[in-house]
């Protein structure tokens, strides 16, 4: 071990799938002593060739370092991997995607076994790991003292965003952002369906769509947050609900004219109409948030 490596926090990583392998390489490159374990042992071989130590069992891997990071398929795999491990005194960082409730249960489970627990939600795909300019980061929540102790080590693969001591909040931020992303993907699918079949090149259309979504997203999201905070949904409204709802037949008729199913648009338009009935035409679209809360 070099003098440089001995100065770096030893890390144990359980899970060498696409994401775990990408994470592993960054800690190795940064000179952290790295112990790895994977259910299918052969996946550790390339990393061993790069300087990692492969443990024979998950329990041995956990015993090797105080800082233990998990990047497994799902919550059930975490159960499976840690069933024989002694977690006493360990700092457990779980980057496995779970629900907020699963994260909270896992925090209580780990604490009962003598570990500090931090949950993580990775906002990156593997090629973005170890590439700071790619802008990837990880939401963390749970034990603030664990996060502070290991802040530098956790910042090696990607940026870090600590979002509070509720262990469920990292997963909640993660799922909220991805849910919004799917809404955006749904909108893009509808837009491409509308132009499909016309003499419009999708590649020429794409920059218009990207620029429009980019221009609209920031102001809309900020306005929604400001109105939810103030409770006044009529402040700084530039495109009011009355006008926007009156415009919806244009979108539905255009879809019909183009032979496109309106199924991605109609649920949102129905919520807009409901809010118009229950709220005020001079509001923005923020009232839809309240309608979604059951
Ligand atoms: P992979 O499918 O590539 O790898 C899954 C890993 O989980 C493998 O190491 C696999 O082991 C292990 N595993 C599965 N079931 C079990 C089990 N029962 N017991 C022990 N180990 C098990 O997934 P990724 O690496 O891509 O993803 C890992 C986590 O990272 C997931 O929670 C994912 O949501 C999250 N993530 C992934 C992103 C991505 O783009 N890839 C982006 C953001 C988050 P084995 O090799 O033996 O099958």
Distance 94 CA to ligand 1 centre (A): 12
Judge residue 134's burial from the number of C-beta atoms within 10 Å of its C-beta, 0-12 exposed, 13-18 middle, 19 or more buried: middle
Taking residue 171's Cβ as centre, other Cβ atoms within 10 Å add up to: 26
Distance 280 CA to ligand 1 centre (A): 47
pLDDT of residue 1: 45
Q: Is 79 in the pocket of ligand 1 (CB under 6 A)?
A: no
Higher pLDDT, 252 or 294: 252
pLDDT value at 5 more than 90? no
Distance 70 CA to ligand 1 centre (A): 9
- From the list 181, 202, 184, 203, the residue with the least C-alpha distance to 192 is 202
Alpha helices by DSSP H, listed for 142-201, are 144-149, 151-154, 169-195
pLDDT of residue 7: 86
Q: Within 13 Å, how many C-alpha atoms sit on residue 136's CB side?
A: 21
- Percent of the chain at pLDDT > 90 equals 97
Distance 262 CA to ligand 1 centre (A): 36
- Give the pLDDT band (50/70/90) at residue 6: low
pLDDT of residue 241: 97
- From the list 48, 49, 163, the residue with the least C-alpha distance to 103 is 163
Helix (H) or strand (E) holding 216: helix 202-230
- Cα–Cα–Cα angle for 65, 109, 165, nearest 5°? 85
- Give the pLDDT band (50/70/90) at residue 94: very high
Q: Is 73 in the pocket of ligand 1 (CB under 6 A)?
A: yes
Please give the full DSSP string across 221-256, using - where no structure is assigned: HHHHHHHHHHS-TTTT-SS-HHHHHHTHHHHHHHHH
Testing ligand 1's pocket by substitution, the residue of 71, 73, 157 carrying the most ligand atoms inside 8 A of its CB is 73
pLDDT value at 252 more than 50? yes
Q: Is 18 in the pocket of ligand 1 (CB under 6 A)?
A: yes
pLDDT of residue 63: 98
pTM of the entire structure?
0.94
Mean pLDDT of the chain: 96
User: What domains, with CATH codes, occur in the chain?
Assistant: 3-165 (3.40.50.720), 197-292 (1.10.1040.10)
- From the list 78, 79, 76, 69, the residue with the least C-alpha distance to 120 is 69
Q: Is 64 in the pocket of ligand 1 (CB under 6 A)?
A: no
Residue closest via CA to ligand 1's atom 42 equals: 125
| Spatial separation of the C-alpha atoms in residues 229 and 232, rounded to whole Å | 8
- Sheet containing 67-70, strands listed edge to edge, beginning at the edge strand earlier in sequence: 53-54, 34-37, 11-14, 67-70, 91-94, 116-123, 137-142, 159-162
Distance 144 CA to ligand 1 centre (A): 26
Centroid of chain to Cα 41: 28
pLDDT of residue 123: 98
Distance 77 CA to ligand 1 centre (A): 9
pLDDT value at 2 more than 80? no
User: For 172-231, how does the pLDDT look when each residue is reduced to its tens digit (9 = 90+)?
Assistant: 999 999 999 999 999 999 999 999 999 999 999 999 999 999 999 999 999 999 999 999
Q: Which two tokens stand for residue 32?
A: 């952290």
């Amino acid at each position: 071990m070099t003098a440089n490596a001995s100065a770096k926090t030893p890390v144990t990583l359980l899970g060498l799938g696409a994401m775990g392998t990408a994470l592993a390489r960054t800690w190795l490159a940064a000179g952290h002593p790295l112990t790895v374990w994977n259910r299918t042992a052969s996946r550790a071989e390339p990393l061993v060739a790069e300087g990692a130590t492969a443990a024979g069992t998950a329990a041995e891997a956990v015993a090797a370092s105080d800082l233990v990071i998990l990047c497994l398929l799902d919550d059930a795999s975490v159960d499976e991997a840690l069933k024989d491990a002694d977690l006493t005194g360990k700092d457990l960082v779980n980057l496995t995607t779970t629900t907020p409730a699963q994260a909270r249960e896992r925090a209580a489970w780990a604490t009962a076994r003598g570990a500090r627990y931090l949950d993580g939600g990775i906002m990156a795909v593997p090629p973005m790991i170890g590439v700071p300019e790619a802008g990837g980061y990880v939401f963390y929540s749970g034990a603030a003292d664990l996060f502070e102790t290991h802040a530098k080590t956790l910042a090696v693969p990607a940026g870090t965003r600590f979002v509070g001591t509720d262990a469920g909040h990292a997963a909640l931020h993660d799922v909220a952002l991805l849910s919004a992303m799917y809404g955006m993907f749904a909108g893009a699918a509808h837009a491409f369906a509308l132009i499909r079949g016309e003499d419009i090149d999708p590649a020429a259309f794409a920059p218009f769509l990207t620029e429009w979504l980019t221009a609209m997203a920031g102001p809309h999201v900020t306005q929604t947050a400001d109105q939810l905070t103030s409770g006044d949904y009529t402040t700084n409204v530039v495109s009011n609900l009355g006008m926007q709802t009156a415009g919806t037949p244009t979108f539905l008729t255009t879809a019909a004219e183009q032979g496109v199913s309106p199924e991605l648009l109609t649920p949102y338009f129905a919520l807009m109409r409901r809010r118009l009935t229950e709220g005020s035409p001079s509001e923005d679209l923020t009232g839809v948030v309240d309608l979604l809360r059951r």
